[in-house]
């Protein structure tokens, strides 16, 4: 049975003053960054004050927005939002965000010591889930600033290319359980002796464990780990509370999750997983963005192929006929692709009849400037 899904009106969504946060998620390479930027540009040009938080190490977006570079500080994008709106953009720099947290929680000398620590360096740049967590941490910070200063009325969030939805939604919990983990507590304890009373009480047992670890890891590495973990404990003080607050922010009705997907069967299977996961966590899903959908040409596939055959059939077919036939065959293949995309969409709609869908046409080329971003929503 085929179904027509409800249409998701993206321009209406991002210009609605009730929409305060938009999160674009989805699997790798489907157009999350592009969609986030296009939505942000549209909202800013409709008069809203928007900040877009992107995660785009390839820096394609900075180029599209016509800004030299994007970093951890939101910067105003020139040439957007003449009608009273404004667009600020920033790119999440995970290492920098981590470092900023260290600086905020330790005196300068101690901060320098921690940042130079090799264990800190490897963990801050590669610990699984840190990027997802940091994106959420940053979102919390942006929202706090928006509430305090009124600088933005819409925050658009891009998400990192995660292997699965779990990475994204589980990040706060996972980093939390890492910090709460007994192994970590044990490692942290010796560095804190003389600090907390509860830690002192543990000191006997810890000394034994430390000796074992010392043998296993080597003294220098152990000290590095201890320094780092003690620092983590300082800098993520109140971590759970913040993670919970951000999670609550995400579940508010003012938040709109968009699952971005490519219009292929496999990609949509992954998208369904995102949709189900968001539903399971009772996150406000606004809908699916089916990106880069092929548009059927003016002539049907069979007719185009038939005409191509006729053109090259006779003895007398020359260069002009062959060129025309090639063009017709090309059109037929795009038409076939478009049909496949439509079938994939129907499959999704049948499985999730309640999820609105926005179809975004494939632009003829990759998006590389503001005009390209504007075209996305047209
Ligand atoms: N509708 C579209 N038409 C044409 N090109 C598009 C469209 N959407 C995205 N692209 C292009 O596809 C490429 C990937 O897009 P994008 O970087 O937004 O994906 P992503 O999901 O953020 O990727 P990653 O998971 O690596 O972060 C870019 O070169 C972009 O210009
Ligand atoms: Mg991206």
* pLDDT recorded at residue 143: 93
Q: Are residues 117 and 220 in the same domain?
A: yes
Task: Please write the tens of the pLDDT for every residue from 143-196.
Answer: 999 999 999 999 999 887 765 545 656 655 665 555 555 445 555 554 444 444
Do residues 136 and 24 both lie within one domain?
Answer: yes
Most confident of the ranges 16-20, 278-282, 323-327, 330-334: 16-20
- Domain co-membership, 263 together with 181: yes
CA 147 to chain CA mean position, Å: 23
Q: Determine the atom of ligand 1 nearest the C-alpha atom of 364.
A: 4
Q: What is the pLDDT of residues 252-268, one digit of tens each?
A: 999 999 999 999 988 89
Q: 324 and 229 share a domain?
A: no
| In contact, 231 and 124? CB cutoff 8 Å | no
CB 31 near ligand 1, within 6 Å: yes
Give me the percent of the chain exceeding a pLDDT of 70.
72
**36-40, 124-128, 300-304: range with lowest mean pLDDT:** 124-128
Q: Does the beta carbon of 292 sit less than 6 angstroms from any atom of ligand 1?
A: yes
Question: What mean pLDDT comes out for the span 319-348?
Answer: 92
Confidence (pLDDT) at 231: 62
Residues 258 and 315 occupy one common structural domain: no
Phi, psi of 3 (to 5 degrees): -130, 150
pLDDT at 227 over 60: yes
What is the C-alpha separation between 232 and 55, in angstroms, rounded? 23
CA dist 108 to 55, 63, 113, 236, 238, Å? 28, 35, 9, 17, 21
Centroid of ligand 2 to alpha carbon of 166 (angstroms):
17
Q: Which of 366, 371, 372 to mutate to test the pocket of ligand 1 (most atoms within 8 A of CB)?
A: 366
62/121 same-domain check: yes
| Total domain count, the chain | 2
Distance (Å, rounded) from C-alpha 138 to C-alpha 283?
Answer: 19
- Cα-to-centroid distance, 34 and ligand 1 (Å): 5
Q: Residue 134 domain-assigned?
A: yes
**Nearest ligand 1 atom to alpha carbon 29:** 23
Q: Given ligand 1 and candidates 27, 33, 164, 365, which is best to mutate, with the most ligand atoms within 8 Å of its CB?
A: 33
| pLDDT for 226 | 64
What is the 228 CA–ligand 2 centroid distance (Å)?
30
In a domain, 2, yes or no: no
Q: Is residue 220 part of a domain?
A: yes
Domain with residue 183: its CATH number is: 3.40.50.300
- Range of weakest confidence among 94-108, 205-219, 313-327: 205-219
* Under 8 Å between Cβ of 225 and 119: yes
Q: Which ligand is nearest to the CA of 263?
A: 1
246 Cα to the center of ligand 1, angstroms: 27
* Statement: the pTM of the whole predicted model exceeds 0.85: no
Closest ligand by atom to 64 CA: 1
- Residues 212 and 316 reside in one and the same domain: no
Please indicate, yes or no, whether residues 218 and 140 belong to a single structural domain of this protein: yes
Q: List C-alpha distances in Å: 301 to 307, 333, 336.
A: 10, 7, 6
307: pLDDT strictly greater than 50 = yes
In a domain, 41, yes or no: yes
Q: Are residues 210 and 328 in the same domain?
A: no
Residue-wise pLDDT for 41-99, tens only, equals: 999 999 999 999 988 767 778 888 888 788 888 999 998 977 789 999 998 877 777 78
Please check whether residues 270 and 319 belong to one and the same domain: no
Q: Which residue, chain included where needed, has tokens 């040439």? A: 79
Structural domain of 317: 301-338
pLDDT given for residue 246 in this prediction: 80
**What is the pLDDT, as a whole number, of residue 117?**
76
Q: Between 237 and 150, name the one with better pLDDT.
A: 150
Ligand 1 and 235: CB distance under 6 A: no
Q: Is the pLDDT of residue 114 over 70?
A: yes
Distance 49 CA to ligand 1 centre (A): 24
* Same domain? 17 vs 129: yes
Alpha-carbon distance 162 to 129, whole Å? Answer: 9
């Amino acid at each position: 049975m085929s179904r027509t899904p409800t249409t998701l009106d993206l321009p209406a969504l991002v210009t609605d003053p009730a929409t305060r946060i938009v999160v674009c998620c989805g699997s790798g390479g489907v157009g999350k960054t592009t969609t986030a930027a296009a939505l942000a540009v549209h909202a800013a040009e409709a008069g809203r004050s928007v900040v877009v938080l992107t995660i785009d190490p390839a820096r394609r977006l900075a180029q599209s927005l016509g800004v030299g570079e994007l970093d951890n500080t939101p910067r105003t994008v020139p040439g957007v939002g003449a009608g009273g709106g404004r667009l600020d953009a920033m790119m999440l720099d995970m290492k920098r965000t981590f470092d900023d947290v260290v600086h905020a929680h330790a005196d300068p000398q101690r901060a320098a010591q921690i940042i130079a620590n090799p264990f800190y360096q490897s963990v801050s740049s590669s610990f699984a889930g840190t990027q997802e967590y940091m994106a959420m941490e940053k979102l919390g910070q942006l929202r706090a600033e928006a509430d305090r200063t009124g600088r933005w009325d819409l925050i658009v969030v891009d998400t990192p290319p995660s292997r699965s939805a779990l990475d994204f939604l589980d990040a706060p919990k996972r980093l939390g359980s890492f910090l709460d983990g007994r192994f970590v507590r044990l490692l942290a304890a010796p560095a804190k002796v003389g600090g907390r009373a509860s830690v002192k009480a543990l000191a006997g047992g810890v000394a034994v464990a430390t000796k074992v670890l010392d043998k296993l890891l080597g003294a220098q590495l152990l000290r590095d780990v201890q320094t780092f973990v003690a620092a983590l404990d300082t800098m993520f003080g109140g971590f759970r509370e913040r993670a919970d607050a951000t999670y609550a922010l995400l579940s508010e009705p003012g938040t709109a999750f968009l699952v971005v997907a490519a219009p292929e069967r496999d990609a949509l299977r992954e998208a369904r997983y995102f949709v189900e996961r968001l539903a399971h966590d009772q996150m406000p899903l606004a809908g699916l963005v089916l990106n880069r959908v092929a548009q059927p040409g003016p002539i049907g596939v069979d007719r185009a192929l038939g005409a191509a055959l006729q053109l090259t059939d006779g003895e007398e077919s020359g260069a002009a006929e062959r060129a025309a036939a090639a063009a017709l065959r090309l059109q037929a293949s795009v038409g076939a692709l478009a049909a496949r995309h439509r079938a994939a969409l129907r499959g999704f709609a049948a499985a999730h009849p309640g999820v609105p869908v926005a179809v975004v046409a494939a632009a003829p080329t990759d998006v590389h400037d503001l005009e390209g971003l504007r075209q996305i929503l047209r």
